Amino acid sequence: MKLTHLKEPSLEFGGAMRHPDIRFGLMDYGPFDSGMEGAPRRIRLGIVGSAETVEGTARWIERCASGFPAKESRQPNLFPAFPGTGAEEAFRCEFVTIDELQRVLPPREIARLAAVPGQREMTRAVVETIANEIGALSERTVKPDVVLVALPIEIIERTYNARDVTSGEDSGEIEAGADLDFRGMLKAECMKLRLPIQLMWPTTFDPAYKIPRKLKENSNRRTQDPATIAWNLLTAIYYKAGGLPWRLARDARQLRTSFVGLSFYRSVDGEQVHTSTAQMFDERGEGLILRGGRMVENEEDRKPHLTAEDAYELLRNSLKVFRDQHGHWPARVVLHKTSRFDRNELAGFHKAIDERDIDYADFVWVQKSMTRLYRLGVYPPLRGSLLRFDKGEALLYTRGSVEFFRTYPGMYIPRPLMLRCQALGQPLQHVAEEMLALTKMNWNNTQFDNGLPITIAAARQVGEVLKYVGEGQEIAPRYSFYM
């Protein structure tokens, strides 16, 4: 065994400048696409909600323009101030909303929805109502770039528990569904309108709101400070509006690589399991979505797997998407999956790779591990700690103490990832360095120590939405419709 520590990966921002932290990179250099053709300059925000939540959300957007002070803390790098919005500030663009882009649900309609008996019936009714309001915005002469769904408390109380019960996702098991997932169902419906949405709770603009404890075990969670809320939400909105806040900083001498994450999801009726994939191109940092075939259960481990033919088709289509984007095939392919690659999957994937004469491929089985390392003192191991067992297996801390933050920013003891390479085209340390960098590519938040690589995290989110998209319906290829 060999223990090493990987350097925190840098990200690339405006002007090809680099920084390891997302917020400081945006403040110092602006988003990666700053100054490029097509980068957002003025993001129009639609709002749907009750009179109270629409007004509160619009007021919060206006408040963001002047910024928020840093949270008082002994870790200033963990809680920086939000500098505001505008042409000279972090995102180099404005975030605006106007009355014509706001849709208010009448109190009587909210009361009617909250009183619908039955969880599934109520969820469908709420989704239909909100989607109709968003549809009305999509037909305006001046359309919003992103719609903020400002949920009133009455709707939150009835919808938040309407979630599928996840069972053993780290072991490759599949969601065993119960009630409908409101979030996934609404995003699937809005996909038809080609309008990305952002769900918001009233605690965003007023932390005094109390969410009933019965909704979830950790409903008494501490509300983030205003600056952190602004950083996270506006970063997500900027990406959903077509912007690219940052990308991986990579050496030009490295192979042109396509990263693909695989996840399985069960259909709404619970009868079938399908594959969702999220593909990320390192050169653009863009996420593209594909839908794969149905799974079969392996007799050896009783886990879901692809047939050889479906594995071949999935990767062949993924490679074609890469070629359509770049005009050439990748020199290397990296596949991430949270369960073992069986022999049929390996055969199908290798067939697709050999067909395009791709010489380098890494198939990495990623799981959260119960094995932990301990260090002296009160803090857990450093993020980036890598314990190699052999040339194809290692333990990687993607969450842990962060030197830049001068603390461990989590609430619980972190679990490292176990990496098992079933096909190894690059040295294991290089694979681990990429894995660490890919944990920083989640545009839903700006704290860079996410636990899972974006390939796996995105594929899971995609599955939560695709289960509500019919077989014949065209799916949105951009990740912004699923996050």
Report the C-alpha gap between 256 and 424 in whole angstroms: 16
User: Is the pLDDT score of 221 beyond 70?
Assistant: no
Looking at the predicted structure, is the pLDDT value of residue 345 above 80? yes
Q: Which amino acid is at 149?
A: V
Picking from 163, 164, 339, the residue whose alpha carbon sits closest to that of residue 261 is 339
CA dist 126 and 474 (Å) reads: 23
Least confident of 277-281, 394-398, 435-439: 277-281
Indicate left, alpha or beta for 377 from its phi (over 0: left) and psi (-120 to 50: alpha): left
Q: Which of 183-187, 287-291, 465-469 has the lowest mean pLDDT?
A: 287-291
pTM equals 0.91
Residue 475 has pLDDT above 60, yes or no: yes
Backbone CA torsion sign across 175, 179, 182, 185: positive
Question: Mean pLDDT across the stretch 136-158?
Answer: 94
Query: Quick count: other Cβ atoms within 10 Å of Cβ 111?
Result: 10
Return the minimum-mean-pLDDT range out of 129-138, 163-172, 191-200, 225-234.
163-172
* Helix (H) or strand (E) segment spanning residue 438: helix 428-438
* pLDDT at residue 169 in the model: 40
Quick one: pLDDT at residue 444? 87
Asked if the model's pLDDT at residue 178 lies above 50, the reply is: no
| Cβ contact 202:213 at 8 Å | no
Q: Is the pLDDT of residue 104 over 90?
A: yes
Of 35-49, 232-246, 250-264, 381-395, the one with minimum mean pLDDT is 250-264
| Integer Cα distance of 69 and 226 in angstroms | 8
The percent of residues in the chain predicted with pLDDT above 70, rounded, is: 90
Residue 172 has pLDDT above 70, yes or no: no
pLDDT per residue as tens digits for the range 111-125: 999 999 988 899 999
- Distance between CA atoms of residues 77 and 90, nearest Å: 16
Long-range contact set of residues 135-144: C-beta below 8 Å, sequence gap at least 24:
135/193, 136/103, 137/46, 137/48, 137/101, 137/103, 137/195, 138/193, 138/194, 138/195, 140/100, 140/101, 142/44, 142/100, 142/101, 143/44, 143/195, 144/44, 144/45, 144/46, 144/97, 144/101, 144/195
Cα 458 to Cα 186, 273, 295, 415: the distances in Å are 17, 17, 19, 20
- Tokens standing for 48? 């749907």
- For residue 168, what pLDDT is reported? 38
The DSSP code sequence of 307-362 is -HHHHHHHHHHHHHHHHHHHSS--SEEEEEESS---HHHHHHHHHHHHHTT--EEE
Give residue for tokens 């050439």.
328
DSSP letter assigned to residue 97: -
H helices present in 36-116, as ranges: 51-64, 107-114
For residue 261, the cross-strand partners are 278, 336
pLDDT score of 421 more than 90: yes
Q: Is the pLDDT of residue 210 over 90?
A: no
The predicted pLDDT at position 170 comes to: 41
pLDDT at 218 (0 to 100): 47
CA angle 449, 439, 280 (to 5 degrees): 155
Question: Helix, strand or coil for residue 460?
Answer: helix
Whether 415 has a pLDDT exceeding 80, the answer reads yes
Q: What would the pLDDT profile of 366-390 be if each residue is shown by its tens digit?
A: 999 999 898 888 889 999 999 999 9
Average pLDDT over residues 21-45: 95
Q: Compute the average pLDDT of residues 419-438.
A: 93
- Nearest CA to 58 out of 93, 90, 26, 100 is that of 100
Assess whether pLDDT exceeds 70 at residue 207: yes
pLDDT of res. 176: 39
**Mean pLDDT of the chain, nearest integer:** 88
Q: Please give the pLDDT value at position 270.
A: 66
Take residue 247 and report the two structure tokens written for it: 């990308």
pLDDT of the residue at 30: 97
Question: Which pLDDT tens digit goes with each residue over 278-302?
Answer: 777 655 566 777 777 776 766 666 6
Tens digit of each residue's pLDDT (9 = 90 or more) over 247-259: 988 777 788 899 9
Mean pLDDT of all residues in 172-183: 59
More confident residue, 409 or 180: 409
- 156-160, 180-184, 246-250, 268-272: least confident range: 268-272
Q: Which helix (H) or strand (E) holds 459?
A: helix 454-466
Q: Among 190-199, 274-283, 447-456, where is mean pLDDT lowest?
A: 274-283
Amino acid at 220: N
Is 276's pLDDT higher than 60? Answer: yes
- The mean per-residue pLDDT over the stretch 431-449 comes to 92
Length of the chain as a residue count: 483
pLDDT at residue 298 in the model: 64
Which pLDDT score, from 0 to 100, does residue 165 have? 38
**DSSP state, residue 132:** H
Q: Which residue has the higher pLDDT, 219 or 16?
A: 16
What does the alpha-carbon distance between residue 242 and residue 233 come to, in Å, rounded to a whole number?
15
d(CA 148, CA 205): 13
Pairing of strands 197-200, 146-150: parallel
Angle at 420 between CA 414 and CA 424, to 5 degrees: 135
